[in-house]
Structures are given as C-alpha cells and as structure tokens.
Amino acid sequence: MSPTGHKPVVAIYPGSFDPVTNGHLDLIARGAMIFDKLVVAVARNLDKDPMFPVNERIEMLEAVTFDWKNVEIDAFDGLLVDFARAHGGSVILRGIRAVSDYEYELQMAMMNRKIEPQIETVFMLPGETYSYLSSRLVKELARLGGPVKGLVPPIVEERLRSKVD
Ligand code: PNS
C-alpha cells in the first residue's frame, strides 16, 4: 500500500525501442506522472531485424530515464501479459500517434485482454511535436545522412551516428 492507502499501480510500457525516440520519452514522462511505477519492457525477440541489440537499447533507455525514480527498464521474451503479471503490472501503456496506429493497437489490446482480462490497456497521446515520429523513420534518416537532432536524445544521436558511419 502507498502512503495514501491505495495499491500502487504498476504500468508496463512495451515496445521495441530500436532506438528510443523523444516521442517514447514524452510518453514515459506522461506515464511516470500518473502511474506509481512504470516498467519499460523492451522486446528481445523482434521479427524485424533490429539495428541495436537489446543490451544497447536498454543502456540507452537507462541513460535517458535516469532522473525518473519510478521508471524501470527490463527486457522481455514471450507473452507481454506474462511479463506484466510477473512485475505486478495491472496496466499496459501504449502511445497512439495517429488514426493509422489505431487498428494494430486495438487488435493487440483486445488480444491481451482475451489472454488476461485483469490487465487493462491504457492509451496516451504523445505531444503533437512527436505525432509523426517513429524509430523506423529515425533509422532511415540516420542511414541516409539526414538530421536526427531533436528527434532522439543526444546519446541516441551519437550511437546512431556510430552505427551508420
Ligand atoms: O512498439 P512496437 O515495436 O510495435 O512493440 C510491439 C510489442 C513488442 C509491444 C508487441 O509486439 C508485443 O507485445 N509482443 C509480445 C508478444 C505478445 O504478447 N503477443 C500477444 C499480444 S498481440
């Protein structure tokens, strides 16, 4: 129990984070404000071939979330709801940028609810500055020598540069 007498609400924020962008950080900041604890769950096994191995994705996330004491970073394999249960999570947090995100997010949320009805998916909107931002586009920009400043934290900018140079 928390000092206010309610059971602490643990939210799980899952994703590939390949790499973490300022849009993800915006959502982490919003999530950390309203949930007692936020666990950022980094998917280890991606169908898509990641640019950064999971340990680097975690390192970058740890560095950029250092100041938030109620934010933890962890990797996961297998079913997200199993990870959520193991961490005492009652909420899955996902960001929705545009209508185009909605269908995929709806399917995922409904499937997760079917497997584990006790866990609720909560959607939040990132700041409008980040509504067009994705890890995929950031990687494409970096590969083609475009500017990624302002789209990702400085540590990610450096790592992106060293990957593509
Ligand atoms: O932000 P992303 O990269 O689209 O993240 C997708 C992710 C990792 C959250 C999603 O693929 C996932 O939850 N994978 C775990 C497997 C799982 O639980 N599947 C059943 C729910 S559809």
DSSP notation for 52-69: S-HHHHHHHHHHHTTT-T
For residue 20, give the 3-state DSSP assignment: coil
- pLDDT tens for residues 99-154? 999 999 999 999 999 999 999 999 999 999 999 999 999 999 999 999 999 999 99
105 near 123, Cβ under 8 Å? yes
Residue 42: its pLDDT value, please? 98
* Preceding peptide of 19 cis, ω within 30°: yes
Ligand 1 pocket check: which of 20, 108, 133 to mutate, most ligand atoms within 8 Å of Cβ? 108
Burial class (CB within 10 angstroms; exposed 0-12, middle 13-18, buried 19+) of 48:
exposed
Residues 132-150, buried b or exposed e (16+ Cβ, 10 A)?
ebebeebbebbeeeeebee
CA distances from 71 to 24, 50, 56, 76 (A): 13, 24, 18, 16
* Element containing residue 76 per DSSP (H, E): strand 71-76
Give the DSSP letter of residue 14: E
Banded pLDDT at 165 (limits 50, 70, 90): confident
Mean pLDDT of 6-17: 96
Banded pLDDT at 2 (limits 50, 70, 90): low
Ligand 1 pocket check: which of 13, 16, 94, 114 to mutate, most ligand atoms within 8 Å of Cβ? 16
